[in-house]
Amino acid sequence: MGEERPGGAGSGSGIVPAMKIPDDLRYSSDHEWVRLEDGRVRVGITDYAQDALGDVVFVQVPEVGAVVSAGDSISEVESTKSVSDIYSPVAGTVVEVNPELDTAPQRLNEDPYGGGWIFVVEPADPADVEALLDAEGYRALVDG
């Protein structure tokens, strides 16, 4: 974290900050992160995803009580560049959504692994979390 790598757009210095990929999270190949908390799964989009999206201007959060399968489109994020689907990384029931995103969708850009979380799922099988990518696997995915 905090390392810089050459290349890319940015301040014109030719240096862009390295993407943050916390080691304590799990990741989907669709660029969602997962944090297991007391048997529930908190979900958001990764730093890589928010950077690719650009400035987020609207987040459609899922309905509390929605029953989802892993891979289901569950939410949408609208940015100045595009509209992107957000997928549930695990099967289960949505038990909470981030109310802050109604008035502050930019939290996805500002704090993707903290205040920018999108929803919480009560997983049908908590072991499904272990099947997701670990930080090393996700780094390999985004580094291509």
Question: How is residue 127 annotated by DSSP?
Answer: G
- Looking at the domain assignment, is residue 18 inside a domain? no
Count structural domains, the chain. 1
Is 62 part of a structural domain of the chain? yes
From residue 71, alpha-carbon distances to 2, 28, 57, 81, 143 in Å are 31, 9, 24, 23, 22
Phi-psi region of 132 (alpha: psi -120 to 50; beta: other; left: phi over 0): beta
Give the pLDDT score at 77.
96
CA distance 43 to 50: 14
Range of the domain at 108: 23-135
Q: Give the residue from 17, 6, 34 showing the smallest Cα distance to 126.
A: 34
Q: 89, 120, 70: which is closest to 26 by C-alpha? A: 89
| Residue 140 lies inside a defined structural domain of this protein | no
Residue 31 in any domain: the answer is yes
d(CA 92, CA 23): 24
We report the CATH number of the domain holding residue 100 as 2.40.50.100
Looking at the domain assignment, is residue 77 inside a domain?
yes
The contacts of residue 99 (CB under 8 Å, 6+ apart) are: none
Q: Give tens-digit pLDDT for 89-132.
A: 999 999 999 999 999 999 999 999 999 999 999 999 988 999 99
How do residues 8-38 score in pLDDT, each as one tens digit? 333 343 444 568 999 999 999 999 999 999 9
Phi/psi for 7 (5° steps) reads: 105, 170
Token pair belonging to 63 = 């309905």
Task: Say if 16 falls within a structural domain.
Answer: no
State yes or no: pLDDT of 80 exceeds 70. yes
Query: Which residues, listed in sequence order, are joined to residue 86 by a DSSP beta bridge?
Result: 75
In a domain, 85, yes or no: yes
Model confidence, pTM: 0.85
* In a domain? residue 111: yes
E strands, 69-137, in order: 73-79, 83-87, 92-97, 119-123
